[in-house]
Amino acid sequence: MREVEAIRKHPLYAEYYDRLRESEKERKFCCHQMEHLLDVARIAYICNLEKNMGIRKEVIYGAALLHDIGKSRQYEEGIPHEKASATIAKIILEDLPETYYSEEEKHAMLRAVLGHRREREDMEELERLLYLSDKRSRMCFDCGMETECNWSEEKKNLEITV
């Protein structure tokens, strides 16, 4: 997928990904590196297929790869990571060749990154898909930190859901 690889290899993405890796070196709670980003992408793509949503694979994987990229700014500066990630994502998406994503796709991806942390009634399709896939990606039932985690009981995945 050239679009997704272009995002991953963008210098700004690489810079923030390194910062993220460094910030989470000692983290005992959920991390936000490639394993998580691709878990979210795959869950979202499966849902997209199951529900015949018709969203392009490159759009789902691109949004998933970008959604937590600003997390180091939350750790370091207290900036909510959905906002930091959307700012970084906008620069990266604007830098890509015009043929990679349409303007509508870029808008939907940025909207999804910005809105992925909280569910709202008026969520756009990709935004809701990313939100749900992000939550479903966490295996709380198999996590040693589950009792210390600040996720509410309703949010936690306490059993395998398919």
Q: Which residues bind Fe ion (CB under 5 A)?
A: 68, 134
- Residue 61 CB, nearest approach to Fe ion (Å): 14
- Residue 103 CB, nearest approach to Fe ion (Å): 25
The answer to whether 59 and 126 are in contact (CB under 8 A) is yes
- Residue 14 CB, nearest approach to Fe ion (Å): 19
Cβ closer to Fe ion: 58 or 68?
68
The answer to whether 33 and 20 are in contact (CB under 8 A) is yes
- Residue 73 CB, nearest approach to Fe ion (Å): 15
Dist. CA 104–CA 78, nearest whole Å: 30
- Comparing every residue's Cβ against Fe ion, the nearest one is 134
Cβ closer to Fe ion: 3 or 134?
134
Cβ closer to Fe ion: 2 or 35?
35
Dist. CA 26–CA 24, nearest whole Å: 6
Cβ closer to Fe ion: 101 or 131?
131
Which long-range contacts (C-beta less than 8 Å, at least 24 apart) are formed by 71-75?
A: 71/20, 71/23, 71/24, 71/32, 72/16, 72/19, 72/20, 72/22, 72/23, 75/23
